[in-house]
Structure 1
Amino acid sequence: MKFKSLFFLFLLFTAAILITNQSPKRQTATAQANDQLIYMPVINSGYDTDLIISSLEITQAVQKADNSVPLVGSKPTIVRVYAQTIAGTPPSGVKVSLTAARNNTLLGTITSTAKIVPKNPQRSDYSSTFNLQLPDSWLSGTVEITATVDVENIVLEYKGNNNYNATLVFNSVPPLDVKIVPINYTHNPTGAFFPGQQQDRISDYLKRTYPVPSVNVSFRGAYNFQGDLRNGNDWVQLLYDVTDLKQTDNAPNSQVYYGLVPIENGATQWFFGGIAGIGWVGWRASVALNLSQSSSGPLAAHEIGHNFGRNHAPCGNPAGVDASYPYAGASIGEYGVDVLNGQLLLPSQYVDMMSYCSPEWVSDYTYQALYNDQLVSGKVLSQARVDGLMIRVRMDEDGRPVLQPVYALTHTPFVGDVSDEYAVELLDVTGEVVGRYPLFTVLAEEEGVSARMWGVSVPMPDVALGGVRVVAGKTAVSERVFTPAAFYTTATPVLKDTADSLVLSWPFSAPTLVRYTIDDGQTWITYALAAEGELVIEKENLPAENGRFQLIPADTTHATLTLDYNN
């Protein structure tokens, strides 16, 4: 509270004291008495202005009026100060300050630019509030802040209740880790080749809309894919491939594998509309087009949103709509703020990024769900890799499960919802069941295309296997027969080194997974998921360091072949 105390004292001690005799004199025998009333003047200060701070809104992308959307540590933060004039004429040239402390230690003070203090600041009017971006050093732990309006005391007020206190809690959330997989795409209808691009057009938008402190983007070596991505089935196959790459590269479950498909090579272009991407709901792998800077970010936010467990918001007639989405027409519901660009985003104009409409931003509903998922699934677990059978089941065009080649290797385990339809059984060489395991499943849906995947990571069995089968109840629906390891272990792979490429060959035709390590198997880069007898690897796609190739034939155990390479 501010007091203009010196001014008041001056008026008080310089005012005339009016003394008026209110009754006639009376004579008495002993004394003379005077009844007197003493009048003090009522001094009007002349102050008819009063300023207050009615509330604060602390936002990092979207916020509710009660500030219940959680704050993320180290994420850029805006405080909207709702200072208002509640009496008198709104004064101009007024500044607002924020002072912060953590554990009773002063962090500092920041001050806004000068402006008019309005009578009625509105959430819908960004210019009606004092908007201050917090320093990076304030964005962790529990921080006590005090907001003060008219910090320079330029306004004469008759009350001057100018402070507002708030406690901010910044939560520790793991960074978002994205591995971009450039796709070398051969477009079958024309035979045109579109080389994969190591371009990051997605992290800026993800930083602005996702509840994470940062977005770490890295690039994997390019992956070769041939097909027709105007067709939904080929999109599904590419999604399957990128999923397999994540598992066989030994990537952590917390990392998003993001297949990036080029649409042009010089003046040649293959994409003129249609499917732009697809991602698993609840498993961190997606594929999408490498569009313009303005379009790639929202597309990535949508597909990675699926990876975080989000279904579609109800606008644009998508499949797989989230029945619990709280706002009609996929409105973002609350006011968004693009903190890095200082822009207010109105719920009457912006829709949630999980819809098919635009312009898009993130709703508080989606933001909270992304936050919850990243707290759990964003952690890198040291026990993420398993040494065992990587069992994968795909859905064919008729919706039936088909068991894929089974590989015995160290890999990232698949996670998802437990399937109530299918399980997997291991058979010994006599056909007896020696193990039964539930399958996990995830779904992907976009307009005109859907995919389902089942999978499980099974510990390496102690007995020789004769096969693996998928069962519905007690009925086998898909099966693969195993080959004894001795058939492969006597084989010798051959590596031919040319000027621009390596030609790797081996004397059997079974589907073979080929991968390369430079850190003794801690991480891998997979070059082929089901090669048959030969593989050509461009040297530009090889790491510069010396390493080791691993050739793993399908449908067998203990038959891995290795080959050292000095690059």
Structure 2
Amino acid sequence: MRVLSVIGNRLTGPLPEELGDLASLRQLHLTNNPGLSGPLPERLTALTGLQELLLNGTDLCANADAGFQAWLSGVQLAQVRACKAARGSGAYLTQAIQSSAFPVPLVAGDAALLRVFVTASRSTSEGLPPMRATFYLDGVETYVADIPGSGTPIPTDVEDAERALDKSANIEIPGSVIQPGLELVVEVDPANTLDPGLGVAPRIPETGRASVRVEAVPALDLTVVPFVWAAGSDLSIVDIAEGMAEDPQGHEMLWHTRTLLPVRDLDVKAHEPILTSTTNVVTLYLETALAWTLEGRRGRYMGIMPAYVIGGQSGIAAIGGFYSFSVADPFVISHEIGHNLSLRHAPCGGAGGPDPAFPQPDGTVGNRGYDFRGSGALVSPRAADIMSYCGPPHWISGYGFTKALNYRLRTETDANASAVASASTPVPAGPPTRTLLLWGGADAQGEPFLEPAFVLDAPPSVPPSDGEYELTGRAETGDELFSLTFDMQETVDGDGESAFVIALPAPAEWVGRLASITLSGPAGSTTLDRATDRPMAILRDPESGRLLGILRGPSSGDPVRTAASAGLAAAGAAGSELEVLVSRGIPAAPPR
């Protein structure tokens, strides 16, 4: 057994020790079973491959035993309370959001707010005293921050202190201090001016140093693809894409992505505008996938178009995918990138396929966030999670931030590249070769569809040979020329559509013989043959191979004129003529 999920099942009592015998277990989800209680059994440490341990909404807890804590620190996503929660004073560092019960890791190099919660054993008018925070990296002192006192009376409860900034001692810590291996000690009232009878803890933690989980993540490699509608003449989306590339750290379209997702640096590139005949979001998603595939499958691609052209806020992505489509809206952009970083929907606003392990059943973030803009402000725990359909305001839950961070750490293994192969994603492609472009998908009812096929020079891209869909190419004689099985990634934010793009190496001996292509799946099949008459033109830069247009129907007949009427130059990057490929279904083999 690899996954054991019994969320909200009214379970009671302690956790049985026998769970430690499930050697193959990778995910243990027990969220929202308030009757579960007691310390976690020691035998759980035998689960050396456990990746997720979610215990929100239970009274289960983890002992402070060093061996158990060492095992727990190796679990990628652990939402587990300590059995002996610290009483009285406490402290934490926060970037987007933080929780005393379920600490949220920090992103290395980003500034963080240190909040120190000092409490007294009785009510007092004594103000918050001065404090000194000392930071260590790998045991070496690296930074000291002195926090002045204030006239705010010392609270008697940590939860009360967390509710308002003026009830805690706060100071911004530079990003240069926030690095892996970070430890922290806070001295409270170093001059010993407070009445000892107030019971204020003089040191946080009481002994030793508090360790802080900090993770270094690579820059998020994002190519923004502006789609220009062939029936219009508005090129404003091109300016937006170029502005995002010129100032990724400051552009408003990327604020939610920079702030609410585990992203420090953004490596944003603006793609040349792509002329398109469609404003359908699912089709634009497929066309974005086409650009990503034909151009080498490197980094992440996001197609964008103005919301007024699409007809409202809309976007689409696949969980863990490398491409997406979004209207030009900061919230939608970050929402779709969140899906690409493995996040499912938070359960609010009718969002389809909500994450069953999401801690808050109403889709709120559940803890206090911090907004660094202006003089800084706390964000309410009642804010809607960015992966929900509720809000504004939008923020990110600690659960979502941690899950997305762990996904990046697991899949982006090269510190100098942000799109690295995973089990379901092909490695960046090799040099272009003669390929057969096969693309299409399945609609909301699961019925398969195929776009016109093309023969072109592109990096080969063939999915793992296993799945419930099959593509078969045959000659006029019925001879099978190729056959492959594969799976399609289901999208979210649509109606459950799926999509694929394959660039299949095309041997010269069968390209000219190809007479039919059939896509079959659980809900049926569809075929392209020589009688298919769905004209389409693909426009590319002949030097770079970059995709510049996908025109369907009548607009494909004179692509140069169509490009000019939309306000786009019909030439490649070096002024060369466009490469124009035309197909009505089954392609003719272009000359070499």
Judge same fold: TM > 0.5, yes or no. yes
Question: Does the CA-based 8 Å contact 2:463-2:502 persist in structure 1?
Answer: yes
Per the alignment, residue 408 of structure 2 pairs with: 374
Question: Does the CA-based 8 Å contact 1:180-1:260 persist in structure 2?
Answer: no
Measured on the aligned residues, the alpha-carbon RMSD in Å equals 3.7
In the alignment, does 2:444 pair up with 1:409?
no
Task: For 1:192-271, list aligned pairs within 5 A.
Answer: 193=234, 195-199=236-240, 200=244, 201-227=252-278, 229=279, 234-252=280-298, 254-261=299-306, 263=308
Higher strand content, 1 or 2: 1
CA distance in 2, matches of 1:533, 1:443: 34
Question: Does the CA-based 8 Å contact 1:428-1:463 persist in structure 2?
Answer: no
Per the alignment, residue 444 of structure 1 pairs with: 491
Task: For 1:50-199, list aligned pairs within 5 A.
Answer: 54-86=89-121, 89=124, 91-92=126-127, 94-115=129-150, 116=152, 117-122=154-159, 123-155=162-194, 157=196, 161-164=202-205, 165-185=209-229, 193=234, 195-199=236-240
TM-score, scaled to structure 2: 0.67
- Per-residue CA shift, 1:153-177, capped at 9, x if unaligned? 4446478733432112321222223
Which amino acid counterpart does residue 143 of structure 1 have in structure 2?
Answer: L
For residue 109 of structure 1, report the CA deviation from its aligned partner: 0.8
In the alignment, does 2:543 pair up with 1:514?
no
What secondary structure, in the 3-state scheme, does the structure 1 residue paired with 2:213 have?
Answer: strand
Structure 1 residues 53 and 120: CA distance shift in structure 2, 3 A: closer
Structure 1 residues 390 and 65: CA distance shift in structure 2, 3 A: farther
- Per-residue CA shift, 1:109-162, capped at 9, x if unaligned? 112232244332323333322222222221222122211222454446478733
Which amino acid counterpart does residue 540 of structure 2 have in structure 1?
Answer: R
Question: Does the CA-based 8 Å contact 2:290-2:501 persist in structure 1?
Answer: no
CA distance in 2, matches of 1:65, 1:178: 33
Which amino acid counterpart does residue 236 of structure 1 have in structure 2?
Answer: V
Question: Does the CA-based 8 Å contact 1:276-1:288 persist in structure 2?
Answer: yes
CA distance in 1, matches of 2:548, 2:124: 70
- The sequence identity of aligned pairs, in percent, is 19
For residue 210 of structure 1, report the CA deviation from its aligned partner: 0.2
TM-score, scaled to structure 1: 0.70
What secondary structure, in the 3-state scheme, does the structure 2 residue paired with 1:62 have?
Answer: coil
Per the alignment, residue 395 of structure 2 pairs with: 361
Question: Does the CA-based 8 Å contact 1:101-1:144 persist in structure 2?
Answer: yes
Which amino acid counterpart does residue 124 of structure 1 have in structure 2?
Answer: R
Task: For 1:457-468, list aligned pairs within 5 A.
Answer: 457-461=503-507, 463-465=509-511, 466-467=513-514
CA distance in 2, matches of 1:338, 1:398: 42
What secondary structure, in the 3-state scheme, does the structure 2 residue paired with 1:334 have?
Answer: coil
CA distance in 1, matches of 2:379, 2:464: 35
CA distance in 1, matches of 2:363, 2:497: 24
Which of 527, 531, 544 is the matching residue for 1:479?
A: 527
CA distance in 2, matches of 1:475, 1:128: 60
CA distance in 2, matches of 1:553, 1:151: 77
What secondary structure, in the 3-state scheme, does the structure 1 residue paired with 2:104 have?
Answer: coil
For residue 527 of structure 1, report the CA deviation from its aligned partner: 3.1
- Per-residue CA shift, 1:25-77, capped at 9, x if unaligned? xxxxxxxxxxxxxxxxxxxxxxxxxxx97222232212332453332222332
For residue 211 of structure 1, report the CA deviation from its aligned partner: 0.9
Question: Does the CA-based 8 Å contact 2:91-2:117 persist in structure 1?
Answer: yes
For residue 257 of structure 1, report the CA deviation from its aligned partner: 1.6
In the alignment, does 2:590 pair up with 1:559?
yes
In the alignment, does 2:521 pair up with 1:470?
no
Per the alignment, residue 69 of structure 2 pairs with: none
CA distance in 2, matches of 1:64, 1:154: 30
Higher helix content, 1 or 2: 2
Question: Does the CA-based 8 Å contact 2:184-2:212 persist in structure 1?
Answer: yes
CA distance in 2, matches of 1:166, 1:208: 25
Question: Does the CA-based 8 Å contact 2:448-2:519 persist in structure 1?
Answer: no
Question: Does the CA-based 8 Å contact 1:178-1:258 persist in structure 2?
Answer: no
- Per-residue CA shift, 1:211-253, capped at 9, x if unaligned? 12223333222222345x5xxxx2222222222222223351x
- Per-residue CA shift, 1:456-475, capped at 9, x if unaligned? 44344474243353354799
- Per-residue CA shift, 1:440-464, capped at 9, x if unaligned? 31233437x5532134443444742
Per the alignment, residue 352 of structure 2 pairs with: 319
Which amino acid counterpart does residue 374 of structure 1 have in structure 2?
Answer: R
Which amino acid counterpart does residue 178 of structure 1 have in structure 2?
Answer: L
Question: Does the CA-based 8 Å contact 1:196-1:262 persist in structure 2?
Answer: no
Which of 310, 315, 339 is the matching residue for 1:277?
A: 315
CA distance in 2, matches of 1:286, 1:310: 14
What secondary structure, in the 3-state scheme, does the structure 2 residue paired with 1:65 have?
Answer: coil
What secondary structure, in the 3-state scheme, does the structure 2 residue paired with 1:464 have?
Answer: helix
